[in-house]
Structure 1
Amino acid sequence: MLTKEKVLEALRDVKDPEINRSLVELNMIRDIQIEGTTISLTVVLTISGCPLKAKIEDDVVSALKALGAEEVKLQFGAMTDEERAALSAQLRGNQTHNMTPGKTPLLNPILDKDSATTFIAITSGKGGVGKSTVTVNLAVALARLGKKVGIIDADIYGFSVPDMMNIDQRPTVIGETILPVEKQNVKVMSMGFFVEDNAPVIWRGPMLGKMLRNFFTEVHWGEELDYLLLDLPPGTGDMALDVHTMIPQSMEIVVTTPHPTAAFVAARAGAMAKRTGHEILGVVENMAWYEAKDGSKEYVFGRGGGAKLAETLTCDLLAQIPLGQPENHPSEPDYSPSVYKQDSPIGQIYLDMAKRVAQKCETQA
């Protein structure tokens, strides 16, 4: 026999996909009515235009039919401003006990010295070497290994991660809490979510630093991440310095092309990391070669830049990634124009690199 108690118990395992908490725990299940094998109920969403409404509906219906319901009549509502404020406070609550007195409370204390999250900053000496491509594909590869991964697109002037991952959804905002957008099992936060029509960001350094800090203090990353990748702007300017100051425990990957000049410039970014006490995980040589149809390799941008840079910085050459366009089609589910498929040759290179990165991080931890 179906009862309200059994319905609630069945829905305890159904989670809000953005918050990753039970709908029952979040008090989102209301007005349960049972007539024989028909269950009627209301799900109160965080916002009226919740982008994952369809998934919530599918999960609720599946859970109740597995319980024995033959028909599920589901209605949707939206939280009031007061309920959203209370939820925002609930998400923040009880996560500040290990913070130093006087510091700003963190939504998810990933910046705390005791956090288990590994920060990996992806940097380069100059633009145009594929730093963001490496960031996105390394993040997806780590997620394919079963890791919980996030990306902060800290290149606030040149944000590109949302476009590279084909994310057209805006983050959900609950009170003062921002929920990152998830794609390819990677949680993403970017300045691009808050800019209309690809408008330029005309800000000075202090404002950029404040926005970056908001990505930590106001974003609810959910359960603790294994890895949080930061796509830094190229060079050694304000944003890179802010990251080095804000996250003293972060490690770095330096991206270059094989060209000697690119490697020479990239050495500055690596030197900055060392001077600020950050460990360099290794170097990635992007655009290493182009493989022709006959299998021969053409070294379009020269050879040896990555190995030379790794030698200069006294670190490993993590990967050499050839030129190649991902073979994706917009009709495919989870289409991302810049993400290589796992079974593609370049996708396998990224997967191997992710294994090396994870092994190095876990050994050093």
Structure 2
Amino acid sequence: MTDPQKITQDLVIESLKKVSYPGFSRDIVSFGLLDHIQIDDQSVKVFMKLKSADHEKGVQIEEFAKKQLLADYPGMQIEVSVEMQAPQQSEPQDKVQTHFLENIKYKVAVASGKGGVGKSTVAVNLAVALAKTGWSVGLLDADIYGPSIPLMVGIDEKPPFDGQKIHPIEKYNVQWMSIGFLVDNNEAVIWRGALVHRALQQLMNDVAWPDLDIILFDMPPGTGDAQLTLSQSIALDGAVIVSTPQDVALVDAVKGVQMFRKVNVPIMGLIENMSYFICPGCGTRTDIFSSGGANTTSKKIDVELLGEIPINTAIRAGGDAGAPVALENNTVSEAFIEVAERIKNKLLNR
């Protein structure tokens, strides 16, 4: 039995922080759902408000919260009530009034369901490829925990500050901004969700982004706080999901697609990275990580396969040297150009 005298509102809040919002790693308290708590000698009553038209989500939150509180306070009567409220913004995602980056025409997230699939490499080369098509391009490194853009584009300087805002660094005809420009390269970024949320918004609002045709967001892997913050802060025009051909990567890629669909972000398509290897000696194609996985998966989940990027030492060497392979004119860079053109056409013709 739990001693009712020892139960406080702060303890109940800590218990509720163990409950994740359905479909996300972020907890229901940080989502701002908690309205008030009532505690007496026999019961704990929790009242929440959820701005959503998804009644099932409210039922899930009630069940998850009640289960957690029963586990933490055995013997107490637990009541959890979620009041459903109509969302303030009922318009489609592309009609939402945004507060960030309003001077940039198109905003596209480059994401992956898991790490190690080459998402940042693809994002950097897509940015360069889009610039080669004639568009003005920016890239925001939203991978707060593992910013790799500074290395991949060979920038080791601090961004300029005009007394009010910092300015992105231009290189290869692309405007770059990364948390990696602002912290020591050897320093681990250990932040909770609220700090990630604030940092991302500052990289959008406190940076003097010029007028651009498009900005790409290099997202951290997975389906966590950064993805949620971005989808809530701006009206994304689409998300591009990067995967490799293996089943284990494609399973997580599907999760990434589902996450963006839950927050009403259009899926522009799937990119299969490390798709195949062409022997430089004989020209034979070898499917090192299986073949056709992304194509089959894209059909199952009704998304377009935007392209297949080969395994090639030039891609790795370009990333290590800070000179993306898309800068060159060869068959490898052409693969990125083709994907960039498809993305561009989808945005122009939507």
TM-score using structure 1 length: 0.65
Aligned position for 1:81: none
Tell me, in whole angstroms, the C-alpha distance in 2 between the residues paired with 1:208 and 1:225. 25
Deviation at 1:116, TM superposition (A): 5.1
**Gapped regions of structure 2 (runs ≥ 5):** 1-97
Looking at both structures, which has the greater relative contact order when contacts are Cα pairs under 8 Å and sequence separation is at least 6?
A: 2
Aligned position for 1:233: 220
Aligned position for 1:281: 268
**RMSD over aligned Cα atoms:** 1.9
Aligned position for 1:77: none
- Secondary structure of 1:173's match? coil
Aligned position for 2:302: 314
Aligned counterpart for 1:202 among listed residues 176, 179, 190? 190
Contact 1:283 1:318 in 2 (8 A): yes
Encode CA deviations 1:201-239: one digit per residue, 9 max, x unaligned. Answer: 0111100110100011111112x1101000001111111
Q: Which amino acid in the other structure matches residue 247 of structure 1?
A: I
Aligned position for 1:34: none
Aligned counterpart for 1:174 among listed residues 162, 168, 182? 162
Tell me, in whole angstroms, the C-alpha distance in 1 between the residues paired with 2:172 and 2:166. 19
Deviation at 1:321, TM superposition (A): 0.5
Aligned position for 2:332: 346
Alignment of 1:68-107 (within 5 A): none
Aligned position for 2:259: 272
Q: Across the two proteins, how many residue pairs are aligned to each other?
A: 250
Q: Which amino acid in the other structure matches residue 265 of structure 2?
A: H
Tell me, in whole angstroms, the C-alpha distance in 2 between the residues paired with 1:328 and 1:276. 34
Deviation at 1:140, TM superposition (A): 0.3
The answer as to 2:110 corresponding to 1:136 is no
Deviation at 1:327, TM superposition (A): 7.4
Aligned position for 1:21: none
Q: Which amino acid in the other structure matches residue 291 of structure 1?
A: I
Identity percentage of aligned residues: 37
Q: Which amino acid in the other structure matches residue 360 of structure 1?
A: K
- Secondary structure of 1:120's match? strand
Deviation at 1:318, TM superposition (A): 0.5
Aligned in 2, Cα 1:261/1:197: closer, same or farther, shift over 3 Å? closer
Encode CA deviations 1:24-53: one digit per residue, 9 max, x unaligned. Answer: xxxxxxxxxxxxxxxxxxxxxxxxxxxxxx
Aligned position for 1:155: 143
Aligned counterpart for 1:117 among listed residues 105, 108, 111? 105
Aligned position for 2:172: 184
Aligned position for 2:33: none
The answer as to 2:282 corresponding to 1:294 is yes
Deviation at 1:336, TM superposition (A): 2.7
Encode CA deviations 1:329-364: one digit per residue, 9 max, x unaligned. Answer: 89xxxx634433331111011111111111110001
TM-score using structure 2 length: 0.68
Tell me, in whole angstroms, the C-alpha distance in 1 between the residues paired with 2:252 and 2:315. 31
Aligned position for 1:361: 347
Q: Which amino acid in the other structure matches residue 320 of structure 1?
A: E
